[in-house]
Amino acid sequence: MSKKRIGVRRTKKRIYLDHAAATPLDSVIAGEIQKREKNTYGNPSALHKEGLLARELIEQSRALLADGLGISPKEVIFTSGATESNVLAICGVVDTALKQKVTRDNKPHVIVSAIEHASILETCRKLVEENKIEITYVPVLSNGIVDLKVLKDSLKKETVLVSIQYVNNEIGVIQPLKEIAKLIRHHKKSMDSKVFPYFHTDAVQAVNYCDVHVSRLGVDLMTINSGKIYGPKGIGALVIRRGNTVVPQQTGGGQEFGIRSGTENTMGIFGFSSAFKKAQQLREKESTRLRMLRDWYVGELRKHFPNIRFNGDLNARVPNNINITLPGHESEELVLRLDARGIAVSAKSACDSTSGEVSHVIRALYPDADMQSSEGSLRISMGRNTTREELKKSLQALVEASKIMLDTHV
């Protein structure tokens, strides 16, 4: 369905409901970045004053992030974003296991959930293709939560890594990380292993709404990024708890404690840590506000679309996410019709929104269903500026778009 056929209208004020894909840069942080850029342009590895000023800002920012995460600054490795952090975590742990020959003649075994982000799934697919690892994809129950029994039964002596996301980017479901950490601890004890398997979580979608205190969660590695928390894009971090070794995937000047070479993005790091601090300050208040809006919106959707399906658990999910299926409506067409009415939502994760296929996340929820593209999903993800008035307008637009689609497709 092309935009031409739908006829894009020029609208006055757009309504942005795609915060799971990207958040706008916080205007106060944008101003601070601009102000500081003037005297922190030096290379942070240089010995002169300009270099030292940049280094100082990076280390202050690292300490701020570490403090919020409940870890030591040396455990924060800055990267270019969540994709790089995820690739570093998976390939870095697998390379460590191969180097140390921890599985002897057997291949290292990796466990991931079936609904991970493409940066995890595609990295694992490549490692399998290269014959480097054996993989288990743990299914999810129909509410989107990982099947803990399958996970527990999948752990074996060759398992070197378990990577389970904190919050899913499409359906917003929160995974029980503490319980998973406990299963892994028991397994380690029974194997008499102090180190493997490592537990990694992709916490990109969790920072605005969940507790990300690393020790409380019991994870060894954690991915976070800035572009989903109202900070600048193109900057992220991988948390590596002390005592865990991750083989660098990017070689060069040895920055970031030798784990991630490349000149640091000073302004990105500063903006990221400021955004993280603000997200923590606003977490509870925003969660309460959005939960009320979300629950009201869910009720309204039910009234207008009696056969609507809500994808993913309605309680164990972040408060800004609604994911729906309107039977008989192709989700891409809905997205474009809403866009033409000034409303931005998404059909699935922005990273694979062009394929026209039903998302792997929705398929994983209903493995026995024969899904057509008309069974696709629509993700509505609210943010700091979302108001009830905006949601009312988006609902009206959805009702209008649905009516046209049902009328034209009979």
170 interacts with ligand PLP by CB under 6 A: no
How many Å apart are CA 348 and CA 312, to the nearest integer? 13
Q: Residues 118-137 vs ligand PLP: string with x where CB under 6 A?
A: -x------------------
Task: List the one residue out of 381, 385, 296, 399 whose CA is nearest residue 341.
Answer: 399
Residues 130-169 that bind ligand PLP (CB under 6 A): 165, 169
Write down the least CB distance from residue 99 to ligand PLP, Å.
26
Residue count, binding to ligand PLP (CB under 6 A): 15
Residues 78-97 that bind ligand PLP (CB under 6 A): 81-83
Of the residues 61, 103, 123, 225, which one makes contact with ligand PLP according to CB under 6 A: 225
317 interacts with ligand PLP by CB under 6 A: no
Write down the least CB distance from residue 236 to ligand PLP, Å.
6
265 interacts with ligand PLP by CB under 6 A: no
Task: List the one residue out of 230, 266, 290, 267 whose CA is nearest residue 28.
Answer: 230
How many Å apart are CA 209 and CA 171, to the nearest integer? 14
206 interacts with ligand PLP by CB under 6 A: no
Of the residues 113, 159, 205, 323, which one makes contact with ligand PLP according to CB under 6 A: 205
Write down the least CB distance from residue 167 to ligand PLP, Å.
7
Bridge-partner residues for 18, per DSSP? 381
Q: Which is nearer to ligand PLP, 82 or 161 (CB)?
A: 82
286 interacts with ligand PLP by CB under 6 A: no
Q: Which is nearer to ligand PLP, 210 or 308 (CB)?
A: 210
How many Å apart are CA 124 and CA 132, to the nearest integer? 10
How many Å apart are CA 150 and CA 347, to the nearest integer? 29
Task: Name the burial class of residue 313, with classes exposed (0-12), middle (13-18) and buried (19+) by CB atoms within 10 angstroms of its CB.
Answer: middle
154 in Cβ contact with 112 (< 8 Å): no
Query: DSSP code of 358?
Result: P
Residues 345-384 that bind ligand PLP (CB under 6 A): 349, 351
- What secondary structure does DSSP assign to 131-196, as a single string? T--EEEEE-B-TTS-B-HHHHHHH--TTEEEEE--SB-TTT-BBP-HHHHHHHHHHHHHHHT-SSP
Of the residues 92, 227, 268, 342, which one makes contact with ligand PLP according to CB under 6 A: 227
Q: Segment near ligand PLP (CB under 6 A), from 28-36, 202-210, 289-297, 387-395? A: 202-210
274 interacts with ligand PLP by CB under 6 A: no
Task: Name the burial class of residue 211, with classes exposed (0-12), middle (13-18) and buried (19+) by CB atoms within 10 angstroms of its CB.
Answer: middle
- Reading the block at residue 388, the tokens are 């009830």
Task: Name the burial class of residue 367, with classes exposed (0-12), middle (13-18) and buried (19+) by CB atoms within 10 angstroms of its CB.
Answer: exposed
Write down the least CB distance from residue 351 to ligand PLP, Å.
6
Q: Which is nearer to ligand PLP, 155 or 269 (CB)?
A: 269
210 is catalytic: no
Write down the least CB distance from residue 346 to ligand PLP, Å.
10
What residue ranges bind ligand PLP (CB under 6 A)?
81-83, 117, 119, 165, 169, 202, 204-205, 225, 227, 236, 349, 351
Catalytic residue set: 351
